[in-house]
């Protein structure tokens, strides 16, 4: 995903551009190395009495999510999935806007490595988009509940403005939230999609936020970081105050998922790297990019104004958190001697922030007491390329087997319940 916008999800795609076509082939072409499925048996001996909450997963939007819910007069303007050659793409009208997949788990539960997705929806395991198949997959993996994020160009609500006007984008967001809230209900409140908001309009954003919480029972919001890069006021401006006041009063989490507005990890890899090498390095840089999100909030003064609002760093790991906080402690003293904040960086993180891990072993084994056992949550990133699959229980046992039971329960269940206001 280059910084010129050619390769990004949610960016316009020119299939005649040889560079774009080459990237898409590398990302979505058939074949690839297979990591075979294993016999999943639910929870392990270690986790058998814990209702594990997986705080970062993705749901693939059905191709008719919008067209099925709009009046005939608006259907032609709505996103839909259509096959071009051997691949499925999201379209608006005749324009290709994004690949349609973003899942690497196939119908036999094998995982394809070195790709961003399987080429077509038919190849993807239905657990990526069907509620019953998803819940069955969760049971097999020993996962009780999941927090879910978008899987298409809609990952950042701002991206809609590249193809439609603001009024219609707001309509599309409402339909998305209605559909995801219905998915939550049909899962018997085991899958909790995060809501999108029309972030370009302060009043509309406040109204939709209240609707999502009060009418739809949704549990949090997914926002893009650095809104000013999209022509939207910075988080320090009054534009955001109504939303922040809601989240503060109701203790609602604001989630910042990687790759939705912070650092573009793919754009700062070396130019001559092949696709799979870019994927490895770029993914790692996306994780570290969320350090900027937490750092910006910590020094902004916003956490003093909204002391019950929760900030969640999603799909970014936890091992870098102690360094971030230690560096901010030092830099604040050296570089911000006149800035008057009520707390120290580690205190802001402890009081109002959360981060999650999946593949890491060192941090869960050796750093929980430093990071804060009340601030760490667990995720799998199912069904994405870096997902902790095929056997998350084996990794939990390896990474957390030496942790005391109360802390284990916090990390796998309690912290997420508190963050997202869940009751099991």
Quote the strand ranges of 103-198, DSSP E: 111-112, 145-149, 191-193
Fold of the 37-65+124-420 domain: TIM Barrel (3.20.20)
| Span 89-95, average pLDDT | 90
> Residue 59: CA atoms inside 13 Å, Cβ hemisphere, count?
29
Q: What is the mean pLDDT of the chain?
A: 92
3-state SS assignment for residue 181: helix
Determine phi and psi for 185, rounding to 5 degrees. -65, -45
pLDDT for residue 100: 83
Q: Could you tell me which residue, 182 or 265, shows the higher pLDDT?
A: 182
Cα 81 to the chain's mean position, in Å?
Answer: 22
> Residue 109: CA atoms inside 13 Å, Cβ hemisphere, count?
15
Please write the tens of the pLDDT for every residue from 297-327: 999 999 999 999 999 999 999 999 999 999 9
pLDDT for residue 261: 65
**Angle subtended at Cα 153 by Cα 101 and Cα 172, rounded to the nearest 5 degrees:** 120
Q: Is the pLDDT of residue 4 over 60?
A: no
Look-up of token digits 């657990």: 127
pLDDT for residue 19: 66
| Span 246-275, average pLDDT | 88
Please choose, from the candidates 142, 58, 52, the residue with its C-alpha nearest in 3D space to the C-alpha of residue 377.
Answer: 52
Characterize the bridge pairing of strands 79-84 and 253-257: unpaired
pLDDT for residue 7: 42
Determine phi and psi for 257, rounding to 5 degrees. -80, 145
Please write the tens of the pLDDT for every residue from 27-55: 887 888 999 999 999 999 999 999 999 99
What proportion of the chain, given as a percentage, has pLDDT over 70?
Answer: 95
pTM above 0.85, yes or no: yes
Which residue pairs, CB below 8 angstroms and at least 24 apart, start in 234-239? 235/296, 235/297, 235/300, 235/302, 236/300, 236/301, 236/302, 238/202, 239/202
Please write the tens of the pLDDT for every residue from 191-231: 999 999 999 999 999 999 999 999 999 999 999 999 998 89
Binned at pLDDT 50, 70 and 90, residue 116 comes out as: confident
| Span 352-358, average pLDDT | 98
Please write the tens of the pLDDT for every residue from 133-172: 999 999 999 999 999 999 877 677 888 898 899 999 999 9
What sign for the dihedral angle of Cα 173, 224, 204, 219? positive
**Angle subtended at Cα 173 by Cα 172 and Cα 176, rounded to the nearest 5 degrees:** 90
> Using an 8 Å Cβ cutoff, are 61 and 129 in contact?
yes
Binned at pLDDT 50, 70 and 90, residue 9 comes out as: very low
> Using an 8 Å Cβ cutoff, are 183 and 411 in contact?
no
Q: Is the pLDDT of residue 264 over 80?
A: no
Q: Is the pLDDT of residue 14 over 80?
A: no
| Span 245-251, average pLDDT | 98
pLDDT for residue 31: 80
pLDDT for residue 223: 96
How many other β-carbons are positioned within 10 Å of the β-carbon of residue 339? 9
> Residue 390: CA atoms inside 13 Å, Cβ hemisphere, count?
16
Q: Is the pLDDT of residue 3 over 70?
A: no
pLDDT for residue 393: 97
Among 151-155, 282-286, 378-382, name the one with the lowest average pLDDT.
Answer: 151-155
Binned at pLDDT 50, 70 and 90, residue 110 comes out as: very high
């Amino acid at each position: 995903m280059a910084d010129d916008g050619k390769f990004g999800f949610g960016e316009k795609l020119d299939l005649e551009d040889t560079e774009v076509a080459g990237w898409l082939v590398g990302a979505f072409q058939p074949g690839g190395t297979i990591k075979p499925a294993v016999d999943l048996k639910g929870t392990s001996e270690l986790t058998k009495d814990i209702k594990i909450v997986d705080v970062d997963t993705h749901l693939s939007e059905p191709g008719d999510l919008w067209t099925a819910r709009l009046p005939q007069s608006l259907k032609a303007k709505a996103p839909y999935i259509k096959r071009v050659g051997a691949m499925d793409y999201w379209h608006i009208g005749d324009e290709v806007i994004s690949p349609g997949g973003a899942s690497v788990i196939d119908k036999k539960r094998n995982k394809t490595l070195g790709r961003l997705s399987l080429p077509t929806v038919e190849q993807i395991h239905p657990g990526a988009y069907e509620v019953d198949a998803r819940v069955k997959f969760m049971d097999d993996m020993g996962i009780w509940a999941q927090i879910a994020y978008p899987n298409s160009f809609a990952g950042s609500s701002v991206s809609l403005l590249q193809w439609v006007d603001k009024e219609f984008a707001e309509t599309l967001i409402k339909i998305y939230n209605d559909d995801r809230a219905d998915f939550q209900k049909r899962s018997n409140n085991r899958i909790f999609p995060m809501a999108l908001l029309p972030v370009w309009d302060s009043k509309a954003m406040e109204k939709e936020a209240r609707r999502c919480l009060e009418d739809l029972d949704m549990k949090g919001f997914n926002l893009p970081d650095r809104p000013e890069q999209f022509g939207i006021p910075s988080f320090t401006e009054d534009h955001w105050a109504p939303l922040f006041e809601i989240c503060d009063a109701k203790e609602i989490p604001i989630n910042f998922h990687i790759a939705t507005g912070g650092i573009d990890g793919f754009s700062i890899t070396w130019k001559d790297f092949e696709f799979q090498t870019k994927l490895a390095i770029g993914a790692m840089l996306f994780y570290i990019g969320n350090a900027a999100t937490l750092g910006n909030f910590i020094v902004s003064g916003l956490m003093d104004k909204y002391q019950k609002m929760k900030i969640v760093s999603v799909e970014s790991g936890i091992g870098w958190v102690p360094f971030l906080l230690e560096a901010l402690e030092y830099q604040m003293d050296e570089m911000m001697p006149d800035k008057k904040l009520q707390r120290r960086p580690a205190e802001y993180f402890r009081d109002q922030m959360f981060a999650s891990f999946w593949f890491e072993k060192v941090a869960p084994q050796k750093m929980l007491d430093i990071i804060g056992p009340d601030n760490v949550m667990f995720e799998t990133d199912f069904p994405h390329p870096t997902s902790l699959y095929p056997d998350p229980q084996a990794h939990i046992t390896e990474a957390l087997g030496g942790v005391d039971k109360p802390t284990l329960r916090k990390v796998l269940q309690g912290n997420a319940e508190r963050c997202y206001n869940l009751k099991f």
